[in-house]
Every structure is written in C-alpha cells, then in structure tokens.
Structure 1
Amino acid sequence: MKKAFAFGCILAAAAYAAGFVLPFGFDIILGAVTAVLIVAAVIVSGLAVSGAEQRANYHSETEEGRRARLKMAAVFFCA
C-alpha cells in the first residue's frame, strides 16, 4: 500500500506540473480519471451491494480472498 500511495503522489505531482505546461484543460482529464479510479475502488471493495449481499459475501469468501480484494481496492483508492 505504501508503494501505491507513493505512486499516487508522484502521479499527482506530474499532473500538477502538466497543468502548467499543457495548453488544454488538464483538470478535466484528471477529474475523469479520478472518478473512474474511485468507482473502481467502490466496485472492487464491495461497498455498492446491499447489507444482505455483503453479509453473504463475507461468510462465503476466504480470508486470503478478502485480504486480496481489500488490498486491490486500497490500491485503486490511493492511486
């Protein structure tokens, strides 16, 4: 997760620098990419399901699968 956070910080710094250099509205592109990554984190983490579905998923998946799913969601969120 530390690597994903560092990568996100580097990407943010590059996007900030690109905002000064590029002639078009880079903020619109950055906003769209951010929205897509947040939606991907919500979908992968399972936050978009109802309580009954989330309870069933919790009891049917293994500990390793749950850890991998939450790690992937954290990577999307940090990026």
Structure 2
Amino acid sequence: MRTTIEIADGQRARLLEIAGARGEKGYSRLVQEAIELFLKERQRKDGMVKAALAQRGALNDDEADEFEARIQQIREDWR
C-alpha cells in the first residue's frame, strides 16, 4: 500500500544512503522493516505489562514487603 509520511530531510538522506549501500533504489523496504520492528517491540512491551498486571495480588503483604526489601538491597548493591 502506498502512503505519504512526513520525515526530516536528514532522515530521508540517511535512509537513501542506507538503501543505496544495500543496493536498493528507494527506502520503502527500510521503512517497512522499521515499522515491523516497532510493532514487534510494542507487542513485546504490551505482553510484559499484561503479565505484570496479572501478578497483581499474587503476594500477601508480608511477601510483598520482603520482595520490596530484596529489590531495594539489589539496587543499593548495584550502585
């Protein structure tokens, strides 16, 4: 499907440069790849959020407090 998008001049120049290095005349394939990567990453993130929300209420108060303390300790040790 053909459509029109707005991109900066520098972006267009870079896309044409990359496409040329790949032996392609235009940058449509690059845009398709970028859209596919974006959609896959979005789906992955949405899945992670959904999985995290599904865990809501899975721990009792004591378990949640212990878990939070362990996370805090890991963060302190990391620094």
Q: Same fold (TM over 0.5)?
A: no
More relative contact order in 1 or in 2 (CA 8 Å, sep 6+)? 1
Shorter-chain TM-score tier = 0.3 to 0.5
Structure 1 length as normaliser, TM-score?
0.35
Higher helix content, 1 or 2:
1
Structure 2 length as normaliser, TM-score?
0.35
Structure of higher CA gyration radius:
2
